[in-house]
Amino acid sequence: MTHAELSRPSRKQRVRTLWISDVHLGTRDCQAEHLAQFLKAYQADRIYLVGDIIDGWKLRGGVYWPQAHTNVLRRLLTMSKRGTEVIYVTGNHDEFLRRYSRLILGNIQLVDEAEHLTADGRRLLVIHGDQFDVITRYHRWLAFLGDRAYESTLVLNRWLNHWRARYGYGYWSLSAYLKHKVKGAVNFISDFEVAIAHECTRRGFHGVVCGHIHHAEIRRVGEVDYLNCGDWVESCTALIEHWDGTIELYRLAEAQAREAREAEALREPA
């Protein structure tokens, strides 16, 4: 099945596991509509919400909660009702939920971290990752300051994609592009990956699934499989485990581009 087919809500695909992180419901830059469409496309045995699903930091300053954000929660509850196990791993932006860790409500669990066993036998640590971010852990005032600067970039990102959509172009992330170009950001990402991989090795895991830094990636770090879900504010990415244990990195921009190419091919005369 193609990425284009996967992105259509009328064509559900059965998969073993989905991982999403950093949705930031309650913020203006949350790509809730895209996420709801993505969730509609899959039927999963298990879905991990890998932290920062609800942005408690933002909600302290005032409530922004459009219908699209409610639709995401309703979609997750519907999946749970239909048999999907939903495991909510807390993050730093939804740290207010950490006081309720180990809470179980039907098919929904709330935890600070989890262990996932893939179909091919790998033990993966599932954790948001803020525990391995020195700025977030020890310098919260810097984290809040950085969050403000990041919001400014996301505002530009929002307007850019508004005009791209009007002219028929697919989604593209300015903020994700800048991360690849700014040396400090690249170094921060590398340090984060090494730190979390070291913890996995120490604890005997084969790999880690995390979020936090809004940088989706699947790669080998030392002896550890490093898998980052990315986010649903700038890059719109997720991880998908298939029935043989292989894990795929889904990118909305790639799915849209492939769908556009296939639609164009169908319009061309034979």
| pLDDT single digits (tens) 79-116 | 999 999 999 999 999 999 999 998 999 999 999 999 99
27, two tokens: 């913020």
| pLDDT single digits (tens) 183-222 | 344 456 778 899 999 999 999 999 999 999 989 999 999 9
Q: What does pTM read for this prediction? A: 0.79
Contacts of 68 (CB under 8 A, 6+ apart): 32, 33, 36
183, two tokens: 């040396």
Burial (0-12, 13-18, 19+ Cβ within 10 Å), 56: middle
End-to-end CA distance of the chain: 22
